[in-house]
Amino acid sequence: MKILFLNGPNLNLLGTREPDKYGTLTLDNIQTFVGQEADKLNVEVDFYQTNIEGELVDKIQQAKGKYDGIVINPAAYTHTSVAIRDAILAVEIPAVEIHLSNIQKREEFRTISLTAPACIGQIAGFGAFSYKLGLIAIVDYIKSLEQD
């Protein structure tokens, strides 16, 4: 099983970016943490970060036929991107949306996700652990499809 982790804008700054909201782990640290869980679950994981909306759309399109699932933190594009939502719907690859912070507890504009309705579900508010939970959730979902 192959899972693609996609990370949107400013997540390359994790570690120093607003640590009170996003924690002190870097994206590399999180990737290592997710990799350890992936090994336990016996799944392959690829990680990608970009600040550019269209590159996220390209990655989602290119995932068709290569990945069984997507775990995505669209970052600020969560609240604005019809293009990412449409790309997830278009490829029909199961996706889980994740956030480090609890977006329901923050500014009102962050409580709206345009991308979550294209996903199986959303995990938010658990810091780096949201990434691990996202992996567990997508793997469990894909396995349940295989049993049908």
The minimum distance between CB 131 and ligand DQA, in angstroms, equals: 9
Tell me how crowded residue 62 is: count the other CB atoms within 10 A of its CB: 12
Is residue 22 annotated as a catalytic residue, yes or no?
yes
CA dist 97 and 37 (Å) reads: 18
Q: What is the CA radius of gyration of the chain?
A: 14
Of 100, 135, 138, 142, the one binding ligand DQA (CB under 6 A) is 100
Minimum distance, C-beta of residue 78 to ligand DQA, in the bound complex (Å): 6
Please list every residue from 28 through 87 that binds ligand DQA, using CB under 6 A: 73, 75-76, 78
67 in active site: no
Q: Which two tokens stand for residue 128?
A: 């780096």
Quote the least distance from Cβ 110 to ligand DQA, whole Å: 4
Residues 115 and 77: beta-carbon distance below 8 Å = yes
Residue 68 main-chain phi, psi, to 5 deg: -90, -20
Toward ligand DQA, which CB reaches closer, 2 or 17? 17
Give me the residues that bind ligand DQA (CB under 6 A), please. Answer: 10, 73, 75-76, 78, 99-101, 103, 110
